[in-house]
Amino acid sequence: MKNLIALCLVLGLALQSASAKDNVGIEMTYTGGTMPGVRPGGDGTLATTSPTVIEFHASGGGDFSVPYVGITAAHYEEENRFRLGALPAIGVGLLKARAKRHQVTITWKDENGVIQVAIFEASKQKSLALLTIVKIRAPQVCSAVTSCKGTSQN
């Protein structure tokens, strides 16, 4: 009986580690954009292992890829999850930290030259990691932190 339990535990751990290897990437939520067939608010995995494209695999279908060469802008934004008036914000701020949303907006031109946009939401660490990867692999990117070279900003 003990051998049977040990065998089941070993098989369970082996299956769990095999399924974890399939889920390579950053788990994010697609909150909006111009991609047809992808449901806003849908969870998925953003694979950044390819040196040429970012691939989003939605859990409900509607996958798409973003070529690093076509990326024109990447912006990180942090905002309060709930908007409150001045007095309620002070009251809540005294009691606990306010919940934040961390979003990364990526703008690119597809193979037809059409401008596309995708907005992703995740934790602060995951959002900043995605922004760093985009800045490294697409040096032409204009971000909110650094100024754009060769373009005029208003």
- Is residue 33 one of the residues assigned to a domain? yes
> Do 104 and 120 meet the contact criterion of CB atoms below 8 Å apart?
yes
- Is residue 147 one of the residues assigned to a domain? no
CATH code of the domain containing 116? 2.30.29.30
- Is residue 11 one of the residues assigned to a domain? no
What pLDDT shows up at residue 152?
Answer: 40
What pLDDT shows up at residue 130?
Answer: 92
- Is residue 153 one of the residues assigned to a domain? no
- Is residue 98 one of the residues assigned to a domain? yes
- Is residue 45 one of the residues assigned to a domain? yes
What pLDDT shows up at residue 115?
Answer: 94
- Is residue 94 one of the residues assigned to a domain? yes
> Do 39 and 62 meet the contact criterion of CB atoms below 8 Å apart?
yes
Per-residue pLDDT in tens (0 to 9) along the chain, 154 residues: 767 666 556 656 655 544 444 557 889 999 999 988 888 888 999 999 888 999 999 987 788 999 999 999 998 988 765 566 666 666 656 666 667 789 999 999 988 889 999 999 999 999 999 999 998 998 887 655 554 544 444 3
What pLDDT shows up at residue 45?
Answer: 92
**Full domain range(s) for residue 130:** 24-137
> Do 27 and 43 meet the contact criterion of CB atoms below 8 Å apart?
yes
Calpha distance 43→99 (Å, rounded): 20
- Is residue 150 one of the residues assigned to a domain? no
Task: Please state whether the predicted TM-score (pTM) of the whole model is above 0.85.
Answer: no
State how many domains the chain has. Answer: 1
pLDDT one-digit tens code per residue, 79-93: 765 566 666 666 656
Calpha distance 67→96 (Å, rounded): 41
